[in-house]
Chain A
Amino acid sequence: GQNIDQPTEMTATEGAIVQINCTYQTSGFNGLFWYQQHAGEAPTFLSYNVLDGLEEKGRFSSFLSRSKGYSYLLLKELQMKDSASYLCAVFSPVNYGGSQGNLIFGKGTKLSVKP
């Protein structure tokens, strides 16, 4: 089966660092994405990991361990505008008549940043 787990909610303080974990069990794996989604809006791309290790992009970093089925998103120097849901998604390489596969989303972690 396909299963992606991440905490439902987290709270952190402005200026701090927060780590959002994601564990996955999927029938195939061709990369892991992190998306940010503000309420009532579509997800926006944050990061993509396909190899083990840490990918850093400004205040955001994402880590992947394929052997452990584990990833985390690290947000530094938190700002109020970072309050949003963070979605972990695994790309599963199912062949849909030419399509390379589809994304399987976790339920998202709602992050609240407080002053």
Chain B
Amino acid sequence: GAVVSQHPSWVICKSGTSVKIECRSLDFQATTMFWYRQFPKQSLMLMATSNEGSKATYEQGVEKDKFLINHASLTLSTLTVTSAHPEDSSFYICSASGGPIAASYEQYFGPGTRLTVT
């Protein structure tokens, strides 16, 4: 149990276009979803936290108008990178909590999406 999927697993897009990444909890209801970004040889950096049905809370330095997050249901959150630029190329990982071991605050991670902007 507690499986999180992401789609797509990798995407290449041209500079100036927008890309949408989906994060789904497959066998549990995710009350909270987190979006992380990881550059090569760096740690995971939290971008934003979202609760179902409410606006996402963004970390300092993350542009909310550029990284649009929607958490429309308890099993789906989307991250849209608008007007992507080469510096947005990164590994984007989502995680979800509210699963079967919620008391331990455990987060279940998706497999990640590799974004390359040319």
Tell whether, in the assembled complex, residue B43 and residue A87 are in contact, meaning their CB atoms are under 8 Å apart: yes
The number of A-B residue pairs with CB atoms under 8 Å apart is 65
Whether B7 is near chain A, meaning CB under 8 Å from some CB there, is: no
Q: Which residues of A contact B42 (CB under 8 A)?
A: 107
Question: Given A97-B51, A100-B32, are A42 and B46 neighbors across the interface (CB < 8 Å)?
Answer: no
Question: Given A97-B51, A105-B43, are A91 and B111 neighbors across the interface (CB < 8 Å)?
Answer: no
Tell whether, in the assembled complex, residue B43 and residue A91 are in contact, meaning their CB atoms are under 8 Å apart: no
Q: Which residues of A contact B45 (CB under 8 A)?
A: 105
The CA-CA distance from A42 to B54 in the complex, in Å, is 26
Tell whether, in the assembled complex, residue B34 and residue A48 are in contact, meaning their CB atoms are under 8 Å apart: no
Tell whether, in the assembled complex, residue A44 and residue B109 are in contact, meaning their CB atoms are under 8 Å apart: yes
Tell whether, in the assembled complex, residue A42 and residue B110 are in contact, meaning their CB atoms are under 8 Å apart: yes
Size bin of chain B's contact surface: 20 to 34
At the interface with chain A, which of B14-22, B62-70, B74-82, B100-108?
A: B100-108
Q: Which residues of B contact A102 (CB under 8 A)?
A: 34, 46, 49
Question: Given A91-B105, A96-B57, A97-B54, are A107 and B31 neighbors across the interface (CB < 8 Å)?
Answer: no
Whether A58 is near chain B, meaning CB under 8 Å from some CB there, is: no
Tell whether, in the assembled complex, residue B112 and residue A42 are in contact, meaning their CB atoms are under 8 Å apart: yes
8 Å CB interface, B87-118 against A: 91, 93, 95, 97, 104-112, 114
Tell whether, in the assembled complex, residue B97 and residue A100 are in contact, meaning their CB atoms are under 8 Å apart: yes
Which of A40, A98, A103 makes the CB contact (< 8 A) with B107?
A103
8 Å CB interface, B22-51 against A: 31-32, 34, 42-46, 49, 51
Binding site for B on A (CB under 8 A): 30-31, 33, 35, 40-45, 48, 50, 87, 91, 96-108
